[in-house]
């Protein structure tokens, strides 16, 4: 996360239990002189009941919402106010309109210490009210930016919260203003401990007592949440958006520890749903599964599949929240439901040198991370109240899904020309499924494709070296294809490297390897006709770039 200041990302230990939401199988690599890497197609089995007889990436279940109560589900996006210095009310209005059309219910306004930021926040609330949309806002106090050593520091935060707490577009939970943070676990406001500081100077201070629903992102062991029993009304698990435990050494160890029966379909190494009958697959998919043993993912990538989109860290945080339940019942004399806010993110790459923020690393984002994380959240949606997309506009860490605008934090070298708004197509689909409990009907055929701009093996004269853990990425073009009926999909990166897939109606996760000089192209065909074609002309995979760039280029096309 970046605004106008340096920031750090805390890495907490997580367990390694695999998700159980996908059936993934590799397909034999095409005849090509450009690459010998395997191609991956991913076909998902729903973990929810369905009357559909076809298994695809995300089948459309016919059941109604599975909520156990009437509580509304929210999808919000993290908006970096620190990147909005030149914003006008109209800029905010444009963001709000686009986000709302993409299934997003509100913005978490990441606010830092800059003296101009309160004015931009006020503009955001003005734009939301003028939009006449059901679009909510709330403050995410960036405690890596704000000082928090004295009572006066806490007073400044209380003033910011109270300025908008009663605004008609303020997100309210349990009739209280929703407030979050990034970090803050070390803030004591001069009270000796973080728990006592947040309690006496913030949540239970007379200025705010009974007025806010506080869901911070404290980077602490979830087993210690009980220490914040008089502070936390819930928890935002920022790091749940990525498999952050996967480093280069972790991946190498995972590869080395693969068991002798790694190619067995039910071993779980291919992400198979536990006990899923092979007969549930269509005959076309079944025939491809027969080739899986002979042509599979690289051993390293195969070892990492089970971590993509996993919910083990969510389970840890939910267990920590459970220790708060007793104390929460007595807070302010009224019953209070603990809130869990999970994260989802499409990417992570940052490339600042020692003369800047000194942050230069990646998190594993391959293998359709965004889609698979969404599918995991949807399959367990009863446990999650809010999903926060990281982010709308954090250009410095390359996980923005909104347009590139405003004031970049010196990230132009890896952000300019790298549009991500095509990921909004996926956001709208998955956000709707999370909120309703039912995957929406696909009304138009669509292709979304993305890739990094150069090979992991590329060498550059960039004074900032390759990012830490760059070795865990593959040279691949990833694709998510939405089809209204069974179709043929052709992916290609050159005239000599293409792959054809027969896909059912629904959402299919596909991929094809790419080598320097390659481009990206995707075509959906049906009944001998081209239904939709994606062929961006402004993307070429480089072998020797001027600077290292592990950001993603994202494009999409929709049928007329």
- The predicted-structure confidence for 90-146, as pLDDT tens digits, reads as follows 999 999 999 999 999 999 999 999 999 999 999 999 999 999 999 999 999 999 999
Assigned token pair, 467: 């990012």
Distance CA 103, CA 530 (A): 29
Residue 402, φ and ψ in degrees, nearest 5: -90, 175
In 3-state terms, what secondary structure has residue 136?
Answer: strand
- Residues facing residue 26 across a β-bridge: 40
The residues spanned by each domain of the chain are 19-63+246-307+442-560, 72-243+308-437
Helical pair 423-436 and 369-379, crossing angle rounded to 10 deg: 10
**3-state DSSP call for residue 370?**
helix
Q: What is the pLDDT of residue 116?
A: 99
- Please tell me the pTM assigned to this model: 0.85
More confident residue, 100 or 306: 100
Distance CA 93, CA 87 (A): 10
Query: Is the predicted pLDDT of residue 47 greater than 70, yes or no?
Result: no
Distance CA 237, CA 180 (A): 11
Question: Per-residue pLDDT averaged across 65-92, rounded?
Answer: 85
Query: In sequence order, what are the residues at sequence separation of 6 or more whose Cβ sits closer than 8 angstroms to the Cβ of residue 291?
Result: 25, 26, 27, 28
- Among 507, 543, 502, smallest CA distance to 526 is for 502
The pLDDT of residue 305: 87
Q: How far apart are CA 282 and CA 266, in angstroms?
A: 18
Is residue 27 pLDDT above 80, yes or no? no
Please report the pLDDT score of residue 19 as a whole number: 29
The region, left, alpha or beta by phi > 0 then psi within -120 to 50, assigned to residue 5 is: beta
- pLDDT surpassing 50 at residue 449: yes
Q: What is the mean pLDDT of the chain?
A: 83
Q: Answer yes or no: are the C-beta atoms of 139 and 121 closer than 8 Å.
A: yes
Query: What DSSP state is assigned to residue 439?
Result: P
pLDDT in tens, 398-423: 999 999 999 999 999 999 999 999 99
- Under 8 Å between Cβ of 138 and 171: yes
Residue 39 in this model has a pLDDT that exceeds 60: no
DSSP code, position 463: S
Window from 22-36, 364-378, 526-540 with minimum mean pLDDT: 22-36
Confidence of residue 258 (pLDDT cuts 50, 70, 90): low
Which pLDDT value is given to residue 250? 92
Residue 458 — pLDDT band, cuts 50, 70, 90?
A: very high
Q: What is the predicted pLDDT for the residue at 429?
A: 98
pLDDT at 1: 60
CATH class in words for 72-243+308-437: alpha beta
Q: Which residue has the higher pLDDT, 304 or 91?
A: 91
Pairing of strands 136-142, 172-173: unpaired
Query: What pLDDT, on the 0 to 100 scale, is given for residue 58?
Result: 44
pLDDT score, position 299? 75
Could you tell me what percent of the chain has a pLDDT over 90? 73
- Of 503, 501, 500, 499, the closest CA to residue 484 belongs to 503
Instruction: Classify each residue of 91-125 as buried b or exposed e, where b means 16 or more C-beta atoms within 10 Å of its C-beta.
Output: bbbbbbebbbebbbbbbbbbbbebeebeebbebbb
Alpha-carbon distance values, 450 to 306, 345, 407, 496, 537 (Å):
21, 14, 24, 20, 13
Tell me the range of 11-15, 336-340, 396-400, 510-514 where mean pLDDT is highest: 396-400
Query: What gap in Å lies between CA 424 and CA 554, rounded to an integer?
Result: 10
β-bridge partners, 495: none
Q: Using 50, 70 and 90 to split pLDDT, how confident is the model at 175?
A: very high
Backbone angles phi, psi at 315, to 5 degrees: -60, -40
For residue 68, pLDDT beyond 50:
no
pLDDT average, residue stretch 46-73: 40
The percent of residues in the chain predicted with pLDDT above 70, rounded, is: 78
pLDDT at 209: 97
For residues 159 and 174, give the distance between their C-alpha atoms in angstroms, rounded to a whole number.
Answer: 21
- Phi/psi for 5 (5° steps) reads -145, 165
The per-residue pLDDT for range 179-214, each reduced to its tens digit, is 999 999 999 999 999 999 999 999 999 999 999 999
Q: What is the per-residue pLDDT for 326?
A: 55
Say if residues 425 and 557 touch (Cβ distance below 8 Å). no
């Amino acid at each position: 996360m970046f605004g106008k200041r340096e920031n750090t990302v805390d890495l907490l230990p997580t367990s390694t239990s695999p998700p159980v939401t996908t059936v993934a199988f590799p397909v034999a690599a095409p005849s090509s002189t450009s690459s010998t890497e395997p191609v991956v197609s991913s076909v998902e089995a729903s973990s929810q009941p369905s009357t559909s007889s076809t298994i695809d990436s995300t089948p459309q279940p016919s059941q109604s919402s599975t909520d156990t109560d009437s509580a509304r589900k929210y999808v919000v996006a993290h908006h970096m106010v620190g990147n909005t210095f030149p914003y006008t009310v109209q800029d905010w209005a444009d963001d709000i309109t686009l986000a709302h059309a993409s299934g997003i219910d509100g913005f978490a306004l990441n606010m830092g210490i800059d003296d101009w930021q309160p004015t931009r926040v006020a503009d955001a609330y003005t734009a939301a009210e003028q939009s006449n949309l059901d679009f909510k806002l709330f403050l995410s106090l960036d405690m890596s930016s704000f000082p928090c050593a004295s009572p006066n520091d806490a007073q400044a935060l209380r003033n910011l919260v109270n300025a908008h707490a009663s605004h008609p577009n303020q997100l309210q939970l349990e009739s209280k203003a929703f407030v979050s943070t990034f970090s803050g676990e070390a803030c004591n406001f001069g009270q000796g401990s973080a728990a006592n500081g947040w309690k006496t100077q913030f949540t239970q201070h007379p200025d705010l007592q009974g007025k806010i629903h506080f869901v911070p992102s404290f980077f602490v062991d979830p087993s210690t949440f009980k220490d914040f029993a008089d502070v936390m009304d819930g928890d935002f698990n920022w790091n749940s958006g990525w498999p952050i435990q996967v480093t280069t050494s972790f991946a190498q160890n995972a590869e080395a520890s693969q068991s002798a029966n790694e190619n067995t379909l039910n071993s779980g190494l291919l992400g198979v749903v536990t006990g899923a009958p092979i007969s549930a697959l269509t005959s076309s998919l079944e025939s491809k599964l027969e080739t899986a043993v002979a042509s599979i993912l690289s051993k390293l990538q195969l070892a990492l599949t089970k971590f993509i989109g996993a919910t083990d860290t969510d389970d840890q945080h939910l267990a920590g929240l459970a220790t708060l339940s007793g104390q929460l019942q007595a807070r302010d004399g009224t019953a209070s439901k603990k809130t869990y806010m999970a994260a989802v993110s499409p990417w992570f790459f940052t490339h600042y040198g020692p003369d800047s923020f000194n942050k230069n690393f990646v998190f594993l984002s391959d293998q359709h991370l965004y889609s698979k994380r969404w599918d995991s959240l949807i399959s367990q949606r009863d446990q999650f109240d809010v999903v926060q997309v990281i982010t709308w506009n954090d250009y410095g860490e390359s996980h923005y899904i909104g347009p590139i605008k405003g004031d970049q934090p010196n990230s132009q070298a890896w952000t300019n020309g790298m549009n991500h708004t095509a990921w909004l197509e996926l956001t709208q689909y998955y956000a709707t499924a999370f909120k309703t409990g039912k995957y929406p009907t696909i009304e138009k055929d669509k292709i979304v494709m993305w890739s990094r701009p150069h090979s992991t093996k590329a060498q550059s004269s960039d004074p900032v070296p390759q990012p830490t853990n760059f070795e865990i990425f593959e040279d691949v073009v990833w694709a998510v294809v939405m089809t209204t009926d069974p179709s043929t999909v052709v992916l290609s990166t050159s005239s000599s490297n293409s792959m054809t897939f027969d896909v059912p109606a629904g959402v299919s996760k596909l991929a094809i390897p790419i080598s320097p000089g390659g481009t990206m192209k995707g075509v959906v065909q049906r009944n001998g006709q081209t239904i939709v074609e994606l062929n961006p002309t402004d993307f070429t995979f480089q072998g020797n770039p001027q600077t290292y760039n592990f950001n993603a280029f994202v494009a999409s096309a929709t049928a007329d």
